[in-house]
Structure 1
Amino acid sequence: MSASTPEAGADLELRGIRKTFPGFTALHDLDLVIPAGSFFALLGPSGCGKTTTLRIVAGLERPTAGSISIGGKDVTSVPPHKRPVNTVFQSYALFPHMTVQENVEFGLRRRKVTDAASRALDALKLVELDHVAGRKPSQMSGGQQQRVALARAIVNRPALLLLDEPLGALDLKLRRQMQSELKTIQDEVGITFLHVTHDQEEAMTMADTVAVMNHGRIEQMGAPQELYELPRTGFVASFLGQSNLIAGAVESAAGGTLVARTAAGGTLRMPIERAVSTSGTITVGVRPEKLMLASEAPTTDDNVLGPGRITDLSFTGVSTQYTVEMPGIGSIGVFEQNMVFGSVFAVGSEVWVRWRPEHTFGLDADAQAGAAEAIADSEDA
């Protein structure tokens, strides 16, 4: 099975999809195009609309308005079993009385496919489980059972594979292993993958494109690196990783550089194309790992805040995470890579924070409200 075969993948198009339930709207006129053969992730907190979107694509929910097409064919009114779609759920839903191979063959035999056994073995080889084809699911680990569920979905050669929080039941080590394996399998078979998750690391590790959803709408969509390095809303900046967000007022925007003045009286610079707003009150953002601490006022062209005082630190192995209280600004998070044994600075130390202007991004004035919502949602997930 290769990406050039009709089964290998198909464009998925959602046009004006709206879904209303009594008392609320789950999806607001959603437009989305997922190219054939891509690994696409819908990322967001519980209740954002991502699972409703997946169920509409699968045919398990009917949209209130809008249309769905797969491979150029309108499937809005097509029942689930007639769509070229298979779904892998968080619960593996394997038949306990059947062997691994029988589980994978099940759908093929119901459709009276003549080479069901050989196709099932091919699918098991793809997930590296052909050597345990005769075992029962109870004799396998959680990661192996998830791969069996994946093989059972792939063996039907769908144009589109839907993944509904498929790794949520696995422990951290297995989850990371399966992230890599899923991406490798998707590359090999070329099927279009639509992956629904609330796990930021999972989405960024596997997907070619990530759409961050909030309240039934897509807040931002793009490559994982693009979303992380250049978020366009406070929600994205704080749901996809952590960000320091500082209130500022635009002082100038000329010559390709935007200059914003903070409440503490200092100025911060950024490339003007990295700012959503270029006048009035804005929110200046920077990721904590972009920051560096100094014990004396830096004399560089970097953005500088300080002096402030370290109020907390935690050693995480790869980095030490500091909280610095800045007068007039608030708490600033700094993640410094551990290059020496032990922490460089202690709680109570007076420090300055500096970073390169090109690592700065500019958001709307209300970005901090969206960030607070994202942080609350991340804690609830």
Structure 2
Amino acid sequence: MIGSQRDGLRIALGADRLSNGLPHRLSPVPMPATPRLELQDLGLRFGALRALDGIDLAVQPGEIVALLGDSGCGKSTLLRVIAGLERPDRGSVRLDGAEIGGVPPEARGVGLMFQDYALFPHLTVAENVRFGLHAHPRATALALAAARLEQVGLGHRAESYPATLSGGESQRVALARALAPGPRILLLDEPFSNLDRRTRDRVRADTLGVLRETGTTTILVTHDPEEALGFADRIALMRAGRIAQIGTGADLYGRPASRFAARFFGDLFEVAAPCRAGTVATPFGPCPAPGFAEGTALVACWRPEVIRLVGPGEGLPGRVVSRRFLGTTALLSIVVEGFLEPLALPVAASDGREIGTVVHLAADPAGAFIFREERD
């Protein structure tokens, strides 16, 4: 949870008011010159800990950006800075071109949705959604709250109390409440992590649909790469208080800037070797390594999907040492000479290869990621 419940509710419910008090839908428009949110050289220390270090980020109106990373990498701290719950040591935070570093949280036009939703148990669903709409005439607040509840599919639960809601319903009420004041930007802190997988997938899809419909500029904090890939327009992958790489999901998955980024999005099969004459030697053959000096310690990495099972006499021989049934697929663990760790390779569940089977593997050397060998 980001900050205290009281501070967060002030932010989530003190956002800009819609000019007519009614929900709106934004039509696609050309990208404006001014980003909705712009962070420049943000830095923040907690004693000796450098929580944020040189953060630069621009988020366009209507864009959904995921802050992705392991626990402690700085993503929640960055959300707190945007919300106004933490003050950075250096750098600027601009919203629609205006510096908001000195603006109190409740006046920033920022909505915040909690991991635990923070619904008031003594208020009905409709009253929870109306909580931050006191500046509106009562009739307008009632209409706006009802419209937001209909939008998230919970108009029929308006008079229910939070204790009677499922986890997915609570999440949708929290979303309706955060959107009701018409925030300029919405901050989501791990909003789906408390849901079981089946409910999470459904609620996540529903939430994305609402955000697209309303054109709400959104920043999502998550530690789940799959969630970031499926939810966000762009992903800012964070590490040790910095943005390690930012781009579309396709960019980060298919063109990772580092081994750290490549590993974050799935398993890798790795081979370390020095650069020799512009290549790195691997069991699958020499891999092109342009741009590296002779003798540079390199690592060649393949994703499992580029490894092929081939016929006897082709490719590299290996031996299946374990097999794990996963429903429609099975996961084979294969020991291959030249690799320090067994290769985990998914196959169809109907594939008949069992433990002890000798298999042969091949991969296009040009399909490898090549990175400089660095300490993790």
Shared fold, TM over 0.5? yes
User: Which residue does the alignment assign to 1:377?
Assistant: none
Q: Does structure 1 retain, via aligned residues, the 8 Å contact 2:39–2:56?
A: yes
1:337–1:348: structure 2 CA closer, same or farther, 3 Å change rule? closer
- The answer to whether structure 1 residue 87 and structure 2 residue 107 are counterparts is no
CA contact (8 A) 1:10 1:192 kept: no
Aligned partner of 2:285 in structure 1 is 267
Q: Which amino acid aligns with 1:50?
A: K
1:213, distance to aligned residue in structure 2 (A)? 0.6
Deviation at 1:176, TM superposition (A): 0.8
Q: Which whole-Å CA distance do the structure 2 matches of 1:106 and 1:233 have between them?
A: 46
Question: Does residue 310 of structure 1 match 2:323?
Answer: no
Cα distance, 1:22 vs. partner? 1.2
Aligned to 1:363: 371
1:180 has 2:205 as partner: yes
- Aligned pair partner of 1:157 in 179, 182, 187: 182
1:294 paired residue among 293, 304, 310: 310
Counterpart residue number, 2:237: 212
Whether the 8 Å CA contact 1:307–1:352 is kept in 2: the answer is: yes
Cα distance between partner residues in 1 of 2:130 and 2:210: 19
Query: Which residue of 1 is the match for residue 133 of structure 2?
Result: 108
Aligned-residue offset at 1:358: 5.1
Query: Is residue 245–residue 286 contact of structure 1 (8 Å, CA) maintained in 2?
Result: yes
Instruction: Rate the CA distance shift 1:278–1:41 in 2: closer, same or farther, 3 A.
Output: farther
Compute the displacement of 1:161 (Å). Answer: 0.1
The answer for unaligned runs of 5 or more in structure 2 is: 1-23, 29-33
Stretches of 4+ aligned residues off by more than 6 angstroms: none
SS for the counterpart of 2:171 is: helix
Contact residue 276 and residue 363 of structure 1 kept, 8 A: no
Q: So what's the TM-score if we normalise by structure 2?
A: 0.86
CA distance in 2, matches of 1:234, 1:323: 22
Q: Secondary structure at the match of 2:341?
A: strand
Change (3 A) 1:324 1:226: same
**How far apart are the structure 1 equivalents of 2:309 and 2:277?**
27
Question: What's the TM-score, normalizing by structure 1?
Answer: 0.85
1:177-208 superposed Cα distances (whole Å, 9 cap, x missing partner) = 12211211111011111000111111111011
| 1:1-80 map, 5 Å | 1-3=24-26, 11-80=36-105
Q: Cα offset for 1:310? A: 1.9
Identity of aligned residues (%): 35
Matched residue count:
348
Cα distance in 1 for residues equivalent to 2:55 and 2:49 = 15
Shift of 1:93: 0.8
Shift of 1:234: 1.6
One-letter amino acid of the counterpart of residue 293, structure 1? L
1:131 deviates by: 1.6
Instruction: Please tell me the residue identity of whatever aligns with 1:363.
Output: F
Work out the CA distance in 1 between the residues paired with 2:121 and 2:134: 18
| 1:127 alignment partner, one of 137, 146, 152 | 152
Q: How far apart, in 2, do the equivalents of 1:244 and 1:108 lie?
A: 54
Judging changes above 3 Å, is the alpha-carbon distance between structure 1 residues 154 and 233 closer, same or farther for their aligned structure 2 residues? same
User: Alpha carbon RMSD of aligned pairs, Å?
Assistant: 2.3
**Stretch deviating more after TM superposition (123-132 or 240-249):** 240-249
Mapped to 2, the partners of 1:100 and 1:239 lie a distance apart of: 38
Whichever structure has more strand as a proportion of its residues is: 1
Counterpart contact for 1:228–1:237, Cα < 8 Å: yes
Which 5+ residue runs of structure 1 have no aligned equivalent?
A: 254-258, 299-303, 371-381
CA separation in 2, counterparts of 1:313 and 1:38? 42
Following superposition, the deviation at residue 277 of structure 1 comes to: 4.7
3-state secondary structure, aligned to 1:309: strand
**1:3 partner letter:** L
CA contact (8 A) 2:38 2:95 kept: yes
